[in-house]
Structure 1
Amino acid sequence: MASSRDDFVIAFRSAFLRKETKQKFSLLTLLFVSILIIVSSNLNFKIIKDLKSIINEAVYRSSFIVSVPENLIKNYYLKINEYSNFYEEYLRIKKETKNFETKEILNEIIINENEELKKLIEDFTFTKNKILAKVIVDHDSPFSKTIIINKGSKDGLKIGTNIFDRNYLIGRVIETNFKTSRVLLLSDLNSNVPISIVPGDIQAIVVGDGIDSGKIKYIKNNLIEEIQDQSIGYTSGTGALFRSGVPVGRVSFNQNEFFVNFYSDFSQLKYVLVEVETKTNNIVLDNDTEVNVDATQNEETIKINILNDQINILNETNKKFIEENTELASQNKNLLIHNNKLEDKIKKQTKEINQNKLDQEEFEFLRLNLLYSAKCQKTIFKKGYKVGTPEYKNCILKRGRE
């Protein structure tokens, strides 16, 4: 009987320990507990109320504790999202700022080029036989001073064409292509330019030194002693290589040689003016003879232009001499003022020296007076001099020298 009862208990336990039976048992248990709690809460027992309050308090506290990480994560998410938006806005503003800076730099470059081109166009508009060219290559070496410009035979250039930087001569064309040309600068060792030097109208030839200036050589009639420092050199037109009356540079004297400092800085050339020949219109008559209607007029115009250029050079020379004289007069005035100040200072120092000398003599007299006053002073029993008289002072000083 006992064994059969034990078998029943084991069978009942094994039935409840099975997985499916275990799940059903747990569900039934929860169902019974829920019904029990609902019924108990309706009965208004004190212990049930207290238990309910404790459970609610635990639930509320647990909800708060559980919500803290959730709120923290939520806040961090919002901050990260805000930072991400802020960073994207920062990148956008940075990109826009960079674009604005690039545009500002481009605008500044364009403004500078416009100003430079305006200055060149002013010369171009007044000189109809000159065209504007851009320097595309600068061959700067110890043995060659040349540049390449973007104008060639298509634009009317040929070997020997004069090249200008505004109104100043800088070289001539030595090689032409269809759309480019090579220009030999005045500073090249192979450059030789006949010039006239004023004042004095001295004829000479300037040879490039291979750096940035030229040496004066082959002076006509050996008039080198008549050349003055800071004289002006301009093309003489000798040999028909260069147009007459074009300013070249200023003369300077250094180490027993005369140099010409060119007006233009050849290392800073960006645009140049090219002098091209203008064609004249010919009229064909019935007897097949051509008459150049502008020949005489052009010849007179050329002579007038040369004379005007020479007059302009002389006026420019006189103007610069006047400016130099004004500057020298100002310097002379400043030197006179400085000299007067020095003279006043010398007079003041001389006065102080004389006063110091008198003070020293007076001090010496007082010192000797303490020693020899008894010997020079007049008393009832001894001959001498009255105190304060020149004789008394001479006596004291004489005693001191003895």
Structure 2
Amino acid sequence: MIAQGSNPLGGTSRKGKRNRFTAYLYILLALVLMVFDASGSRLPSVMRSYATDLIYPVLVFFERPVRALQDGLERVAGASDIYQENERLKSENVELRRWRLAAEQFMRENEQLHRMLKVPGREVPIAATARVIGIGGGAFQRNFLIGAGQVDGVRMHQPVVDDRGVVGRVQSTSRWTARVLLVTDINSRIPVLHSPSGAVAIAEGLNNDLLRLAFLPEGVQVKVGDLVVTSGHGGLFPANLPLAQVVEVSENTVLMKPTGLFNKIDHVRVLNYASLLNQGEPQGDGLKQEEEDG
């Protein structure tokens, strides 16, 4: 039985009044801050700064476990990718070790043959490294000027290469500069080897960006992507320098793109191949003398 004068809802009513009062207070405070902000007062920004400083430790406290959780989820999500990448790297590592062993074996065999034949090393000395200072060209010639000349040891007909392969040969020299005839010039003829077959041919310039593979023996199978290198015949270019790659094969014509970057070339190396050829003569005499002494 409820006593007279008692109000069971009195507590709830008082709580509701407090909530309404708090809401009205916040609304009033927001209006005051808006008025101050509109008037240009610094009070709102100062209060925001203080509020940020107050809640910063709380944000840091909760940010650390959230960040740790995110990192853990990323690790779990990337575990499969890492496993696949690891397996791929293991496979590549095995293949590289196999190639390294094969290369070391070939190097040892090559050194043994050189010692048996008394043949000197075939590393071609560099006459000069030069900057390209001018590119010429037209309907009848393709060449460029380099900043190295006679004083630097540059001579006529010396091979000129970049990091990717043969660029051309020295056409003329002055004291400080030299003009290089590009392999794409119509006057350029270079003895070459078709690498996959070992067939001897001639690379002819066409006065455009391509070369033609001429005088190729009948029956040689040529495919797009085949590499063509210098043969060493003629005494101007060392053997096995990359020259061009086959880009088109038709019934009567094989076209190639030079490996050298003619459009982006900044520096080239001039090779002193003649000095290497001249070094071979005394070696032959020495071998003959040793045979006679034996």
TM-score (norm 2): 0.50
Greater share of helix: 1
More contact order relative to length (CA 8 Å, sep ≥ 6) = 2
> Larger C-alpha radius of gyration, 1 or 2?
1
